[in-house]
Amino acid sequence: MNAKKATVDREGPAGKIADLIDAGYTCIYLLSFEEERVLRHVREMSSALFPEEVPLWTWSTTEGFQGPEPGPVKGQSVIEPMAALRAVEGFEGKGHFVLKDFHPFLSDPLVVRKLRDLHQEMAGTGRVLFLLSPRLVLPHDLSKDVFVFDYPLPAPEELDVAMHEELAGFSDRFGELLVVPSEDREQIVRTFQGLTEQEARQVVRLVVDRKKVLDAGVVDDLLEEKRQIIRKSEILDYIPKLVTMDEVGGLGRFKRWARVRAGGFTEAARKFGLPQPKGILVTGISGCGKSLAIQALASHWNMPLLRLDMGRVFAGLAGSPEESMRRALITVEAVAPAVLWIDEIEMGISVFSDSVESGATSRIFAMFLTWMQEKMRPVFIGATANDIDRLPPEFIRKGRFDEVFFVDLPNEADRKEIFKVHINKRGKDISEISLDGLAKATEGYSGAEIEQAIIAALYEAFAEGRDLTINDIYRCQERMVPLAVTMKEQIIKTKRWAEDRAVRAS
């Protein structure tokens, strides 16, 4: 039997299910979107744990019981949830029963009571009930009787197997062997992380169908497909192409901070006794590079960047806010090491703070803060906030983030760098002296405004069919009224707030 047990990976989900059964659980809630994968794990667990075959039935309200005959009660006849539970109750001998999408029925007090009875009756009988569902709906009364297993997304090893199965399928079709070069394998598998197994297979199929290969040369295509899929989750955005540190003007102190910690997620850093970086909060004046800073950090650290849209979490487009948030965090953990960018985090905190929804808001924040504290996977939080008044004190408490940065309006030296970045980016050349002059003339301009002035100037030059001159930029810049003027009060307030709470990014 021991030899058989070795066939299940004790670290993986199948192993976890085996542990639960070993520990005597009879009712297990498997929280996952991935029915096929979960069923495969239940089978793996079963054959590893029990030398004699334990029959497995699945049940759904459309198909009734499916599995080896004779079933608890055959097929179509048992589509009522209560009848299904009674059938399990009356079953003799060992058996594993996977009830798919049972969550809607858990609002029925009779069903809840029956489950509680069953839970006790099944103890020691070798019968186990699994509730398999993408949503967690568990009445409080059941919380002691049902173990909830929040299913992780596939690990790299699982994705590797799935990828090879797909490739084998292609090899058959094309009549020639398709293999992943071993030196590219790790990088390619990493691009699938954060996807379900089905999604990863879909990405492989789409790209291989088009490119007929799977090597490092198609990583960009894979990433693009992955981005499309993560997008569909409607909460997370995968940002594939990031600005680099060199495309950010100024923010010297922030850049130094990020450079010093670039190796923070390596094994070597752990061995050296360093804790993993947790995250930063970047606050400051609009248009001065908060979002840019997070992107540059992810690109410098060579980590994928996922943006969490708090607005969409609370809009409930992809299920309840709690569910959306939970799913987002699971996805990010699966992609880890990764940077989770929460843009305008204050929106999420206070959108509903004065309404009936405030319960959900504080639950989500409690959930998020707990996760931040306890997460085991290397996920770095890059949060940005504009409206500091809306940030609750517990959020910026010392120790929560590694650092709270304040991004101010750029000073003269920083403005010069910003001009340089944006002029060079557009393939134009302006002398150092002219840059000095422009920087001097644009006191109070944000980075975004400097960029706008350059674009406007380019239009002028283009319309007149000649190349950009320094005077075009001067003219356009003079016509603008910078935010520093129109939002003076707000800016003064923000600076005052930041004085004793944040480190200047520049």
**Contact status: 482 vs ligand ATP (CB under 6 A):** no
**Contact status: 348 vs ligand ATP (CB under 6 A):** no
Instruction: Please classify residue 427 by burial: count the beta carbons closer than 10 Å to its beta carbon, then call 0-12 exposed, 13-18 middle and 19+ buried.
Output: exposed
CA distance linking residue 189 with residue 185, whole number of Å? 6
In three-state secondary structure terms, 506 is coil
CB of 343 to Mg ion, least distance (A): 6
Q: Which does 16 bind (CB under 5 to 8 A by kind): ligand ATP, Mg ion, none?
A: none
Q: Which does 448 bind (CB under 5 to 8 A by kind): ligand ATP, Mg ion, none?
A: ligand ATP
State the residues that interact with Mg ion by CB under 5 A: 290-291
CB of 497 to ligand ATP, least distance (A): 15
Please give the full DSSP string across 48-90, using - where no structure is assigned. Answer: HH-SSPPPEEEEETTTEEESSSS-SS-BTT--SHHHHHHHHHH
**Contact status: 67 vs ligand ATP (CB under 6 A):** no
| Cα Rg, the chain, nearest whole Å | 28
Q: Which does 39 bind (CB under 5 to 8 A by kind): ligand ATP, Mg ion, none?
A: none
Q: Which does 386 bind (CB under 5 to 8 A by kind): ligand ATP, Mg ion, none?
A: ligand ATP
Choose which of 31, 138, 195, 288 interacts with ligand ATP (CB under 6 A).
Answer: 288
CA distance linking residue 401 with residue 260, whole number of Å? 16
Q: Choose between 188 and 388: whose C-beta lies nearer to ligand ATP.
A: 388
Q: Choose between 323 and 451: whose C-beta lies nearer to ligand ATP.
A: 451
In three-state secondary structure terms, 28 is strand
**Contact status: 251 vs ligand ATP (CB under 6 A):** yes
Sheet with 127-133, edge to edge strand ranges: 64-66, 56-60, 95-100, 127-133, 27-31, 147-150
Count of residues interacting with ligand ATP (CB under 6 A)? 17
Interface characters, 390-429, with ligand ATP (x: CB under 6 A):
----------------------------x--x--------
In three-state secondary structure terms, 326 is helix
- Classify residue 466 by its DSSP letter: S
CB of 291 to ligand ATP, least distance (A): 3
CA distance linking residue 326 with residue 343, whole number of Å? 18
CA distance linking residue 210 with residue 450, whole number of Å? 42
Residue 251: name the closest of 387, 405, 402, 443 by CA: 405
Choose which of 72, 249, 264, 382 interacts with ligand ATP (CB under 6 A).
Answer: 249
- Classify residue 246 by its DSSP letter: G
Q: Which does 127 bind (CB under 5 to 8 A by kind): ligand ATP, Mg ion, none?
A: none
**Contact status: 112 vs ligand ATP (CB under 6 A):** no
**Contact status: 250 vs ligand ATP (CB under 6 A):** yes
Q: Which residue is nearest to ligand ATP (CB)?
A: 447
Choose which of 274, 448, 461, 487 interacts with ligand ATP (CB under 6 A).
Answer: 448
CA distances from 166 to 14, 88, 170, 202, 422 (A): 22, 37, 7, 9, 44
CB of 375 to ligand ATP, least distance (A): 25
Please give the full DSSP string across 398-463, using - where no structure is assigned. Answer: BTTBSEEEEEPPP-HHHHHHHHHHHHHHTT----HHHHHHHHHHTTT--HHHHHHHHHHHHHHHHH
CA distance linking residue 78 with residue 62, whole number of Å? 9
CB of 478 to ligand ATP, least distance (A): 19
Choose which of 46, 386, 477, 494 interacts with ligand ATP (CB under 6 A).
Answer: 386
Q: Which does 250 bind (CB under 5 to 8 A by kind): Mg ion, ligand ATP, none?
A: ligand ATP
User: Which residues contribute to the site for ligand ATP (CB under 6 A)?
Assistant: 248-251, 286-292, 386, 418, 421, 447-448, 451
